[in-house]
Amino acid sequence: MSDDRDVTAQPSARGDVAVVVPAAGAGLRLGPGAPKALRLLEGEPLLVHAVRRIAAAPSVAMIVIAAPPADVDAVHTLLADVAPVTVVAGGAERQESVAAALAVVPPELGIVLVHDAARCLTPVSVFERVAATVRDGADAVIPVLPVVDTIKEVDDTETVLGTVDRSALRAVQTPQGFRASVLRAAHAAAADSHTDDAGAVEKLGLPVRCVPGSDLALKITRPMDMAVAAHLLTLPAPPS
């Protein structure tokens, strides 16, 4: 049997957007345990929280998950009652996982969003804002927040070289949205590794547009992020 598990057959008729979800990471910075996307947040895997929110976005026609290769069947089963998804085996690096998922997005879906499973509380409004900005003509769109800390550049002895002007800096989140052809071209051309997909588009020399992100789109990376996310789930009116 192939590693790809497809329960959608075709994209749904309700939207024009495919969401590619890299979910194959180990979660090493969280400490020992299952692959991060399968760890529990208030009793449910991060991936379930993420997919439930993605599926609630009206623009979304198709969801493709890049799962840990050993867990493709388990992820397929896990999400069976959450939303129709296609599950593929992810790669050793995030960028390989995105490429594997992108490869099964059909050409008729002209907009692709790439969204970390680890940003599992991202609200529907961010998906719709990013998708709408691509629909309006942008090649690439990223949700961002202002940087709140003072940022120093240091040398290899941890001595400060200078203070960076933070007014020109942004902290970047997902979902990142793209005209599908642009994302495919960026991945095909990417010689070096990149930490986000917009980075590959920047290397093509194309503009990347910023839109407001959300405090809820935090990336669960370290143990304290899990505690913050659990608290956010208890709030009656979480921050947008």
CB of 221 to ligand CTP, least distance (A): 5
CB of 167 to ligand CTP, least distance (A): 27
β-strands 17-22, 111-114 pairing: parallel
Report what 90 binds from ligand LQXTBERG, ligand CTP, none; CB cut-off 5-8 Å by kind: ligand CTP
Check residue 139 for interaction with ligand LQXTBERG (CB under 6 A): no
Residues that bind ligand CTP in the complex, under the rule CB under 6 A: 22-29, 36-37, 66, 90-94, 97, 116-118, 219, 221
Sequential DSSP letters for the chain: --S-EES-SS--TT-SEEEEEE-----GGG-SSS-GGGSEETTEEHHHHHHHHHHTSTTEEEEEEEE-GGGHHHHHHHTTTT---EEEE--SSHHHHHHHHHTTS-TT--EEEE--TTSTT--HHHHHHHHHHHHTT-SEEEEEEE--S-EEEE-TTS-EEEEE-GGG-EEE-S-EEEEHHHHHHHHHH--S--SSHHHHHHHTT---EEEE--GGG----SHHHHHHHHHHHH-SS---
Check residue 5 for interaction with ligand LQXTBERG (CB under 6 A): no
List the one residue from 34, 145, 172, 206 that touches ligand LQXTBERG (CB under 6 A).
172
CB of 199 to ligand LQXTBERG, least distance (A): 8
Return the range that interacts with ligand LQXTBERG (CB under 6 A); candidates 54-62, 148-156, 160-168, 171-179.
171-179
Return the range that interacts with ligand LQXTBERG (CB under 6 A); candidates 53-61, 64-72, 80-88, 168-176.
168-176
Which residue, 14 or 29, is less far from ligand CTP as judged by CB?
Answer: 29
Residues engaged in binding ligand LQXTBERG (CB under 6 A): 94, 116, 172-174, 195-196, 219
